[in-house]
Structures are given as C-alpha cells and as structure tokens.
Amino acid sequence: MGRIVGIDLGTTNSLVAWVDRGVPRVIPDGDGRALLPSVVAFTPGGTLVGEPARRQLARNPGQTIYSVKRFMGQGYDDVEAELRRLPWDVMPSAEVVRIKVAGREVTPPEVSAEVLRALKERAEAFFDEPVAQAVITVPAYFNDAQRQATKDAGRIAGLDVLRIVNEPTAASLAYGLERLHQGVVAVYDLGGGTFDISILRVTDGVFEVLATNGDTHLGGDDFDWALVEWLAADIRRAHGVDVTADPEALQELRLGAEAAKCRLSADTRTLLTIPFEGFTYAREIARGEVEARIAPLVGRTLGPCRQALADAGLTAPAIDHVVLVGGSTRVPLVRQRVEALFGRTPRSQLNPDEVVALGAAVQAQILAGGITDMLLLDVTPLSLGLETLGGVVSVLIPRNTTIPTMAREYFTTSVDGQVTVDLHVLQGERELARDNRSLARFDLTGVDPMPAGMPKIEVTFLIDANGILHVQAQEQRSGKAASVRVTPTYGLSEAEVARMVEDSFTHAEADVTARLTIEAQTEAATVMTHVERALRQGGALLEGDERARIEAALRALDEARRGSDRDLIRDRIMALNRATERLAAAMMDTALKAALASRRAEEILDQT
Amino acid sequence: MDDCFAVFELPRKLVIDAEDLRQRFYALSRRHHPDFHHGGPADAQAAALARSARINRAYRALRDPLGRVEHLIAVEEGREVRDASAGRPAAPRELLEEMLEVQEALEEARGDGLGPATRARLEDERQRLLARQAAEEAAILGRAPEWDAAVDGGGDRPTLLGWFKQRLAARAYLRTVIDDLTDALGEARDEHGAHRRH
C-alpha cells in the first residue's frame, strides 16, 4: 500500500500531515509554511492556489474564490443570501452552486479540488514520490451531500479518499495519541466557516463519540462580516463613501477587519489602516468593540453545545476535559463563553490550526495498519428518514447513531402492475419533510408486475464509516435485486464527477515552473497597484528624487513581469519594496496621527 | 429480527451491567470495525462493514434499559421493531377515561385559545402525566429481575411478556399526549419524537 496522508480541508486554511515514526507532523511547503490558504484564483494566465491567490484577492475579487467550503453540497437557494455579499458571478437556479470564472463554470468540489491538488503536490515534493491516497476531514455536522461533495473533490484532484473523518474527532485522536486526555471530553471546534461540538468517551485507546451537534454556516467568516458591516457604516460617516458598493474596496475592508480581529486576540487595542482609492481609513479599535459585534454569533454556538450534552445523556459537570479546536477559538470571548458553559478551563496545548490535520494523519496511519491500539467509533450527526404520506418524515436512523449502521424497510406497490417505487430520503430533525434536507430520490425499478400490495421490496439503508449513505433494494418474492436509480438533490451525478476528473487533467498546470512564474507575475501586478495608489495619495509626503526612484523601479518591474524570468521578477519586486519603504512608513504615521486625533476629538465630545 | 443479545453472547435477560456491555461492545468493535480491514479484498471489507453495522445496532438496542425491554418483546415474538414512529399508539383501556379530560382541555385550548386558566390547567396535566410516565418506566424496570428469574427457573414468561407489552403501550400513549400538551402550550417541539424516546 502506498503512503496515506491526512488532509484538513478548511474554510480558511488547509493542511496536509503524516505520521513520522509515531509522531504526527504537518508537511510544510517549500518556504516552510504549514497553512495553505483555501483560496483559488482563476486568472487569464492560469490558476493560482494558496498565498499567491489570497494576495491578489482584492484586485481580482470576481475571479478569486475563497471560503468555498461553505458552498460544498449546497443548493443555490440555500446560499443565495450569502452569495449576495460575495463578488462572484453565480449561475442562478442551478441546483448545485456554479460559479463563472475565466470563461467557464466551476462547482465548489472543483474549486476544493484545486486546493487538494496543491496539498497533494506539496506532499509529493516532500516525500519525492507520488501520493495518491488520503484521509480528509469534514465538519462533524456535515450532511450526506456535503460529505459526498468532499469525496468528489478528492477524486477530481486525483486522490483516492480512503476515509472522511469528522474534524472534532480527528482533533481528539491527536490529543489522544499524545495521551493528553482520558474520560469524557467535549471538543469545541469553531473554524472559519463551521462550528462543531462533539462529546466523546475516551478510554484505553477507544474514542467513542457519544453525541455531536453544530452549525455548518457559523465561523470566523461571520465574525468578519459583522465587523465589515460596522466599519462600513463608520466609513460612511467619516468619509461619506459607501465601500460596500465597490467589490475591491469591500474585500480590502474584509481583509483589514479580519487582520484586526486576529490582532485583538492578543492585544486589547489595535490600529486599523486601510488605503482606499482617494482616502485612507484609519481608526483605533478596542477589543470590547469587536466583542459587542460578535457576541450574538458566539452565543449561537451554545445551543448546539447544550443539545449535544442532552443527547449524550450528560450534564456539564460530567465533562472531564474541554478541548478547543479551530482558529476562531483564539478569540478571548469564545474562550470565556465556553468556560462559563462547561465550568472548566478549556485546553489548547496543541495548535488549534494544526490539530485536525494531525488527527487526520493519525487516522490515515490506523487505516494503513500502523496503529492498532486505537479505535474510533463515530456517529451520524443527523437523523435519516423517509418521506411518508402527508409529507411527514419517518425516521430510519436517529441522529447520534454509531456508524457504520444500517436500517431495513419493506415497501410494496399501491397499484396493480406497478413496476417502480419512488423513495424520498431526507436528513434532519424536523417532523415535516419540507423542513429537512432532501438528500436524494431513489427510483426502485424492475419490479415484476404483480397485483397491488403483492411485491415485498426490502430496502437496506447503510451509512458507512464516512457517514455516507448507500441504498440497496431487493424484491423478496423473486429474490431479484431491484435496481436503484439515485437522483442526488444537491450533488453532482457520477457522470459529472467523471467528466470533471477528465477536465482536471486538461486544466491542471502541467508544469510547476510555469505556475510559479504566473504567481510571480500576479504578485508583481498586485504590488504595482498598491504603489501606484500610494503615489497618488501620498504625493505630498514624497522627498527629493523619491518619486523618480519609485517610478524607475515600477518601470523595471513592469518590464520584468512581461517576461517569464521568475527570479528577475522577484528581485524587482524586492527593489520596488525597498524604494517605497520610507513612503509607506510616512503614510502610516500620518494615518495613525489622524486616527488618534479623531479619537481625542471624540473623547472631548463625549465629556462635554 | 436479529437477536441483539446473541450478538454479545448474552442470554435474553433484562438486567445487564452497563460497563460490562460496553466492554463487550468495544471488544467486538476492535475485531470487526472496517478501519481494521482496510487493505483486504473488497468482499472482506463489505463483510466487516456489515458485521460492524450489526454490532453498533445491537449496542444501541440494548444500551437503554427500556429499549432493551422493547427489543426483548420483538425477539421473543419474532417480529420487526420499527424505529420509525408507525402512527399514533392507541389508548390503552385503563387510560381512556382520564385521557378524556385531557382531550377536553386540549379541545378547549384549540377552540378558545390559550387563556391563563387553560394554560395553567394544561401545564398541570402535563406535569401529572410526566410523573405518571416516570412511574410506568420505574414499574417496568422494577419487574426486570422477575423476567431474569423466569428465564433461569422456567417461570411464566408469556404472562410477564404480555404485561411488559401492555405497560410499554401505556407509556407510548402517555408520551404522545404529553407531546400534544407541549405543542398546545406553544413550547418548541418541532423535532421527531424518536429523540425523546430514551
């Protein structure tokens, strides 16, 4: 068997890890970075993934896809409201979200596949051998369609996905391998776009999930948008400009807000400076101001925590350890709320950004037969049911059932000579079919014509260890296997995935050098845009022959980026950065003084 | 019906030590979980998947003491237990009369809306029925050792089984009325009954 890697396919960042002589480790890229930003840019020159894509995001918002995990396995209707604040050209009314980029349409699994392919290449460069098998993590609260979409993404990237593992469970495996916990453990996992809570019993290498709950549309992204709305209103007041109307300005603001949020996890005050076209926005932000905006969002995580406790048949004092996972758990308010709920100081000895990938590597090692004393018993997060007469759901497999699991049900015909039976399978906790998630419609065909009520069709619903549903049907009287035609409600059909696997070879950058050149060219364009803007806004701050020197460096870079000499482009980017160092510092200083002055003015106004 | 007691090599008895059952469950899972049969041939993997699913289902059926009684009745009678709620349970005869009053109160609430007096009355009824349900459950579990003794000593098992069935039916009916009351009181209850079962 070849090497199996563990992948954390995150909303904001993704990682790949392996087990090195019993110790799980993250595989870094050539520059030593562990995190790969989950950002994919479709440019005329080719596709960019990771940091280079993220860096040109504000300049190319319509063609740069980020946080695509939130759209995996979703229908257009589900995410319409969310898509409205994103600058992409999305095809309306399609069941699967389809985004128009660089003259073609891509689906979320194809975008995720670009991220997976970059991680695959990173691992291959690290081991200097092909890597074709992976364990990929997903939020525990992902439904069947979202899991299937993740598996599809792996296939499109040329990976055989041996297992889909739940993120909080993976984190628990990583902690367990280090013998950091034993007993009843609550894993609180708040990432960039999703929230999970899982309660596990950990004893002698057995990791038994007792209950899980969550929200697949709640995370740091939502914190950022809450801040963006607040700051956009402040900018309108201070400068009379609506930055939300301009996609580029909106992305600048979002990135600025995100960075400020991160700084405020360590500091109690921070300065936000964003150079916009025509003016620079600067203000000081206090941690309390951010907390006021995100408190309702943090509050939304507590309901699922209580539900998970109730489903596990436990109360908070029964929890021995609380473990924090995901970048958003760095936010002090999140820690305070979790501590208050469980009455216990949460732990985060392992890096919350890396722990899920490390756990995925542990699971990969279990599958490879390298670890035999650890056993993971996970659950299905949502109840699985069938639509019955009157649109009511009849539950086949209740939520929090240990997987793999199966349920059998018998069906018959209602009309003489009927040769097909239709089933509508749903996931969710609501009583009425229309309030639940439609997974698929199954047509059982090839039933022999018989009088009504005579056929006895046994249908087996199996949820495998990945949390993915399989359906089989058999007519009991003839013993004949009825064929099952599946129409996924929000997924890609088998034919579509096969076509995407083909396409991916066509669109893949055959040559790594070619891609590195495109990255350098794109980076050059981004830097030039910033410098040109700085020259317009900071013109008054220039000294001596500074303008001439900067313009010369700009021209030199412009010339280099038209060629394909990657090292030359990089050198000239650095030269331009050096030429503008003093100007950048002077502009920052001016903005800082203005921000402090306006705060003092506000304080004086407050006192009068 | 698959005999879940047999899966764990246990006799069909109702008093089971939870920790012992869990250890048996873990031991079987270690042998059969698909994670440990990964590299094998496809049919061996499929077989591990099916065995593992059966073990998980059996543990779920026996883990909860009341669910265990329901499962016992199913295997003793050799029929399928449906996890899905197959329609409303019928009212057991001895509950009919007192339930008429509750139904009246419910009708009133539906007709005239929820005044403070009606609300108080429904809330009282609900508390009373919750207590009644708890008493039913305690009574059922209280006679579990009797069943086990009958298994060992050849006592009158059919009569006892019939009694268990009756009490479980009463409990199921009480639960639907409690749900109706909860609905009428306008409290959040939009989830499947299945989850409140245990």
Q: Is the pLDDT of residue B87 over 70?
A: no
B38 and A397 within 8 Å at the Cβ level: the answer is: no
- Please state which of the ranges A109-113, A114-118, A233-237, A481-485 shows the lowest mean pLDDT: A481-485
The whole domain housing B48 covers 4-77
**How far is residue A440 from each of residues A57, A131, B44, measured CA to CA in Å?**
36, 33, 28
Q: Please say which residue of B45, B77, B109 terminates a domain.
A: B77
Q: Does B39 touch chain A (CB under 8 A)?
A: yes
How far is it, in rounded angstroms, from Cα A450 to Cα A482?
14
In a shared domain, residues B103 and B186: yes
CB-based contact (8 Å) between A471 and chain B?
no
**Quick one: pLDDT at residue B84?**
37
Residue B85 inside a domain? The answer is no
Among B162, B192, B188, which Cα is nearest to B176's? B192
A219/A595: higher pLDDT: A219
* Residue B104: inside a domain: yes
pLDDT digits (tens, 9 = 90+) for A336-352: 999 999 999 998 889 99
Binary contact (A393, B26; C-beta < 8 A): no
**Which amino acid, A320?**
D
* Euclidean distance between CA atoms A508 and A121, whole angstroms: 12
Residue type for B158, please? P
Q: Are residues B99 and B189 in the same domain?
A: yes
Retrieve residue A579's tokens.
């030429």
Q: Where are the domains of chain A?
A: 4-218+300-377, 220-298, 382-499, 512-607
B74 Cα to chain A: minimum distance (Å): 15
- Testing the interface with B: which of A160, A365, A377, A383 to mutate, by most B Cβ within 10 A? A377
Phi-psi region at A323: left, alpha or beta (left = phi > 0; alpha = psi -120 to 50): beta
Distance of alpha carbon A160 from alpha carbon A157, whole angstroms:
9
Residue found by looking up tokens 């969310």 in the block: A82
A549-599 residue pLDDT tens = 999 999 999 999 888 888 899 899 999 999 988 888 888 788 777 777 766
Is A189 among the catalytic positions? yes
Cβ(A445)–Cβ(A413) below 8 Å: no
- Cα–Cα nearest to A430, from A463, A392, A402, A379: A392
A532-541, B60-69, B88-97, range with greatest mean pLDDT: B60-69
Mean pLDDT of A413-422: 83
Q: Is residue B83 part of a domain?
A: no
Looking at the predicted structure, is the pLDDT value of residue B79 above 90?
Answer: no
In Å, how far is B57's CA from the nearest CA of chain A?
A: 6
Rounded distance between C-alpha atoms, residue A607 and residue B102, angstroms: 63
Tokens representing A40 are: 């994919």
pLDDT tens, position by position, B99-112: 777 777 777 777 76
Q: Is A8 a catalytic residue?
A: yes
Question: Residue A304 has what pLDDT?
Answer: 96
- What 3 state SS string does A507-544 have? HCCCCHHHHHHHHHHHHHHHHHHHHHHHHHHCHHHCCC
Give the highest mean pLDDT range of A64-78, A139-153, A531-545, A559-573.
A139-153
3-class DSSP state of A171: helix
A487 reaches B (C-beta below 8 A): no
Question: Under CATH, what is the fold of the domain A512-607?
Answer: Substrate Binding Domain Of Dnak; Chain:A; Domain 2 (1.20.1270)
Read off the pLDDT band of B96 (50, 70, 90): confident
Q: Does an H or E element contain A486, and which? A: strand A481-488
Candidates A311, A394, A465; nearest CB to B35? A465
Region of B123 please: left (phi>0), alpha (psi -120 to 50) or beta.
alpha
Q: Is B133 on the interface with A (CB under 8 A)?
A: no
Judge if B188 and B109 occupy the same domain: yes
Say what the pTM is. Answer: 0.87
Residue B46, token pair as written in the block: 């499929």
Query: CB-based contacts of A324: which residues, under 8 Å, 6+ apart?
Result: A188, A189, A334, A335, A338, A346, A347, A348, A352
Q: Please count the residues of chain A.
A: 608
Q: Is A468 on the interface with B (CB under 8 A)?
A: no
Is B192 an 8 Å CB contact of chain A? yes
Regarding predicted confidence, which is higher, A108 or A275? A108
Q: In Å, how far are A90, A402, A434, A487 from A439, measured between CA atoms? A: 22, 20, 12, 9
Q: Tell me, what's the ipTM?
A: 0.83
B140 close to B160: Cβ distance less than 8 angstroms: no
Determine whether the interchain pair A385/B53 forms a contact, defined as Cβ–Cβ distance below 8 Å: no
Looking at the partner chain, which of B34, B57, B83 has a beta carbon nearest the beta carbon of A465?
A: B34
Judge if B101 and B67 occupy the same domain. Answer: no
Domain closes at, from B77, B104, B123: B77
- Could you tell me the two tokens for B113? 């809306």
Contact between chains at A431 and B50 (C-beta distance less than 8 A): no
The pLDDT assigned to A510 comes to 57
Distance from CA of B80 to the nearest CA of A (A): 10
The kind and range of the H/E element at A198 are: strand A195-203
Residues B123 and B184 occupy one common structural domain: yes
> Same structural domain for residues B64 and B100?
no
Of B61, B41, B50, B42, nearest to B1 by C-alpha is: B61
- pLDDT tens digit string along B105-139? 777 777 767 778 778 888 888 898 899 999 999 99
In the predicted model, what is the mean pLDDT of chain A? 89
Cα distance between residue B136 and residue B171, in whole Å: 6
- Residue B91 has a pLDDT of 65
Give the integer Cα–Cα distance in Å for A274 and A216. 31
Q: What is the average pLDDT value for chain B, to the nearest integer?
A: 83
Domain A220-298 homologous superfamily, CATH: ATPase, substrate binding domain, subdomain 4 (3.90.640.10)
pLDDT computed for residue B18 by the predictor: 95
Spatial separation of the C-alpha atoms in residues B14 and B3, rounded to whole Å = 13
Pick the more confident residue, A200 or A595.
Answer: A200
Return all residues near A198 (Cβ < 8 A) that are at least 6 apart: A140, A166, A168, A169, A172, A186, A187, A189, A209, A211, A212, A308
Quick check: A435 and B190 CB within 8 A?
A: yes
B188 and B99 in a common domain: yes
Q: Do A405 and B33 touch (CB under 8 A)?
A: no
A315-343 per-position pLDDT tens digit? 999 999 999 999 999 999 999 999 999 99
**Does A399 or A473 have the greater pLDDT score?**
A399
pLDDT, greater one: A456 or A142: A142
pLDDT of amino acid A602: 63
Q: What is the DSSP letter of A265?
A: T
For A238-268, the pLDDT digits (tens) are: 999 999 999 889 999 999 999 999 999 999 9
pLDDT for B40 equals 81
| Element (DSSP H or E) covering residue A209 | strand A206-215
Q: What are phi and psi of A359, to 5 degrees?
A: -65, -35
Q: What is the CATH number of the domain that holds B13?
A: 1.10.287.110
Total domains in chain B come to: 2
pLDDT tens-digit series, residues A125-161: 999 999 999 999 999 999 999 999 999 999 999 999 9
Express each pLDDT in B11-60 by its tens digit: 999 999 999 999 999 999 999 999 998 878 888 889 999 999 999 999 99
- CATH fold for domain A382-499: Substrate Binding Domain Of DNAk; Chain A, domain 1 (2.60.34)
Rounded Cα–Cα distance for residues B181 and B122 (Å): 7
Q: How confident is the model at residue A492 (pLDDT cuts 50, 70, 90)?
A: confident
Per-residue confidence (pLDDT) for residue B141, from 0 to 100: 95
Q: Are residues B14 and B109 in the same domain?
A: no
The answer to whether residues B53 and B142 belong to one domain is no
The verdict on a CB contact (< 8 Å) between B39 and A1 is yes
Q: How many helices (H) and strands (E) does chain A have?
A: 15, 29
Grouping H, G, I as helix, E, B as strand and the rest as coil, residue A133 is strand
Last residue of one domain, picked from the residues B77, B105, B127 = B77
CB contact under 8 A, B192 and A402: no
* Beta-carbon separation of B190 and A405 below 8 A: no
Select from A1, A366, A398 the Cβ nearest to the Cβ of B194.
Answer: A398
Q: Which of A431, A458, A471 to mutate to test the interface with B (most CBs of B within 10 A)?
A: A431
For residue B34, the chain A residues in CB contact (below 8 A) are 404, 464-465
B140 domain-assigned: yes
| Residues A192-209, mean pLDDT to the nearest whole number | 95
| Angle value at C-alpha A536, between A531 and A539, nearest 5 degrees | 100
Look at residue B157 and tell me if it is in a domain. Answer: yes
**Active site residue: A189, A224, A353, A378, which one?**
A189
Which pLDDT belongs to residue B194? 38
User: Does the beta-carbon distance from A385 to B85 stay under 8 Å?
Assistant: no
* Beta strand pairing call for A206-215 and A379-380: unpaired
Enumerate the residues of chain A whose CB falls inside 8 A of the CB of residue B29. 206, 375, 377
Query: Over 60: is that where the pLDDT of A1 sits?
Result: no
Question: A543 pLDDT exceeds 50?
Answer: yes
Q: A398 vs B192: CB contact, 8 Å cut-off?
A: yes
Q: Does the CB of B59 have a partner CB in chain A at under 8 Å?
A: yes
- With tokens 């303008």, the residue in question is A547
**With a CB-CB cutoff of 8 Å, which residues 443-462 of chain A face chain B?**
462
B198 pLDDT band, cuts 50/70/90, is very low
B60 touches chain A (CB under 8 A): yes
Q: What distance in Å separates residue B154's CA from the closest CA in chain A?
A: 34
| Domain A4-218+300-377 part of CATH 3.40.309.10 | no
Is residue A385 within 8 angstroms of chain B, CB to CB?
Answer: yes
Residues B46 and B123 in one domain: no
pLDDT at B85: 39
Q: Are residues B64 and B155 in the same domain?
A: no
